[in-house]
Amino acid sequence: MLPESALDWLVSVRRHLHQYPELSRAEAMTADYIAARLAELGLPFEAGIGGHGLVATVRGRQGGPAVGLRADMDALAISERTDLPYASRHPDVMHACGHDGHMTILLGAAMILQQGDFAGDVHLVFQPAEERYGGARMMLDDGMLQRFAMRQIFGLHNWPGVPAGTVVVHDGPVMAGTSEFTLRFTAAGGHASTPHLTGDPLLSGGYFMTGIQQAVARSVDPLESAVVTVGSFRGGFAQNIIPQEAELTGTLRAFRGETLLHLRARVEAVAQAAAAMAGCDWSLAFDAALCSPVVNTPHERDTMRQAAKAAGLTLGGPMAPSMGGDDFGDFLTQIPGAYAFLGNGDQGPETGLHQPKYDFNDAAIGPGAALLAQSALLALAQS
Ligand SMILES: [Zn+2]
Ligand SMILES: [Zn+2]
């Protein structure tokens, strides 16, 4: 649907974005670059929404409804290990999740929509801070849906291992909701030979480590999926000292918001018990906002599948949902929508998401753009 010249332009945009990746909440250059490309396409936009977020609009004929299409903007703290001529020029920062490709796809979708004849508006949502800090929530809190009313929203993520351009639209759950915690045990500390004179933060940490493993095994319905992972456990510095502090951090994942809240309650209960067992004080902090699970709504899921067919793309699947997270789910707590996996092809070993040899597959730009544009057009036509 896009002429060769447009695709060439989009590939150059994608590779530019790849060379200048920025971490979550620091996407200033990226936002400026996207703003310049939107201006080049003649699209009106507002910048600075929820941090470095932008919303642009492709206007159709008057009198129709509005729908949203979303792409994420941020990169990761990873040192790129590809030999690509357009490899990252920012040390230790890399577009290793393909958000460079997602932004490019959204520009491509806008170009297709500009050629079309439709009633209504399509809002293009460029969202910062997907990997960390909850950028979707930041945009919502900044009044995005009040300023750009939209009835539905569609998004996608490239998916290594699925053939390039093939589309998978899950029935319901797509990605897990996530919550992160930081837990501290504290005590007076002291000589290793006088444990009776102090609490032991390391021992409380140990009790917590083993105790929290029972949260999923013993308190979540076995037919549900959930994960509790303790990712770091720091404390102590010498063999003959009981330290004053131990700190543990971890992640909770589930496909239902209630299950996440339940796991949070379990973390709190087990932390309290572990502190008591080894005579420690404790403090616990969760990330400010839960990242909601991504669960496709039935009507929009069907719209996206029809869109894939209408765009002449291969529909793959069924596929199991991913325990990875995407805060696109936070938009879905407000309005219905759907989120597809877009094949990134098989690029060899160590080229999965968040790996230093990963690269977004430019062959997926055209299919991704067509999928999003068609989804918007079908959704608008259904009014
Ligand atoms: Zn990622
Ligand atoms: Zn991602």
Q: How many domains does the chain have?
A: 2
**Average pLDDT rounded to a whole number, residues 349-365:** 96
Q: Is the pLDDT of residue 120 over 70?
A: yes
* Separation of CA 75 and ligand 1 centre (Å): 8
Distance CA 85, CA 15 (A): 9
Q: Is the pLDDT of residue 86 over 70?
A: yes
The answer to whether residues 278 and 300 belong to one domain is: no
The CATH number of the domain holding residue 270 is 3.30.70.360
| Residue 291 within a domain | no
* Separation of CA 2 and ligand 1 centre (Å): 27
The answer to whether residues 204 and 343 belong to one domain is: no
213 phi, psi to nearest 5 deg: -65, -20
**Average pLDDT rounded to a whole number, residues 137-150:** 98
The answer to whether residues 156 and 200 belong to one domain is: no
- Residue 271: which pLDDT band, with cuts at 50, 70 and 90? very high
**Could you give the angle at which helices 365-381 and 99-115 cross, rounded to 10 degrees?**
50
Q: Which residue, of 286, 308, 342, is where some domain finishes?
A: 286
Q: Is the pLDDT of residue 130 over 70?
A: yes
- Residue 51: which pLDDT band, with cuts at 50, 70 and 90? very high
Q: Which residue, of 253, 286, 319, is where some domain finishes?
A: 286
Pairing between strand 153-159 and 337-343?
Answer: parallel
The answer to whether residues 27 and 161 belong to one domain is: yes
* Separation of CA 306 and ligand 2 centre (Å): 24
The answer to whether residues 116 and 190 belong to one domain is: no
- Residue 71: which pLDDT band, with cuts at 50, 70 and 90? very high
Domain range enclosing 112: 4-172+296-381
The answer to whether residues 274 and 308 belong to one domain is: no
Q: Which residues are catalytic?
A: 74, 130
* Separation of CA 161 and ligand 1 centre (Å): 16
Please, what is the average pLDDT of the chain? Answer: 96
Q: Which residue, of 251, 286, 321, is where some domain finishes?
A: 286
Tell me what pLDDT residue 383 has.
Answer: 65
Tell me what pLDDT residue 252 has.
Answer: 96
**Average pLDDT rounded to a whole number, residues 128-151:** 96
| Residue 150 within a domain | yes
Cβ contacts of 205 within 8 Å, gap of 6 or more: 185, 233, 235, 246, 248, 274
Give the helix ranges, DSSP H, for 87-150. 99-115, 135-141, 144-147
* Separation of CA 3 and ligand 2 centre (Å): 27
The answer to whether residues 155 and 14 belong to one domain is: yes
Distance CA 244, CA 219 (A): 32
The CATH number of the domain holding residue 22 is 3.40.630.10
The answer to whether residues 36 and 105 belong to one domain is: yes
- Residue 332: which pLDDT band, with cuts at 50, 70 and 90? very high
* Separation of CA 327 and ligand 2 centre (Å): 10
Tell me what pLDDT residue 250 has.
Answer: 96
| Nearest CA among 304, 313, 15, 5 for reference residue 164 | 313
Tell me the pLDDT tens digit for each residue of 272-325: 999 999 999 999 999 866 889 999 999 999 999 999 999 999 999 899 999 999
Distance CA 113, CA 97 (A): 26
| Residue 40 within a domain | yes
Tell me the pLDDT tens digit for each residue of 196-253: 999 999 999 999 999 999 999 999 999 999 999 999 999 999 999 999 999 999 999 9
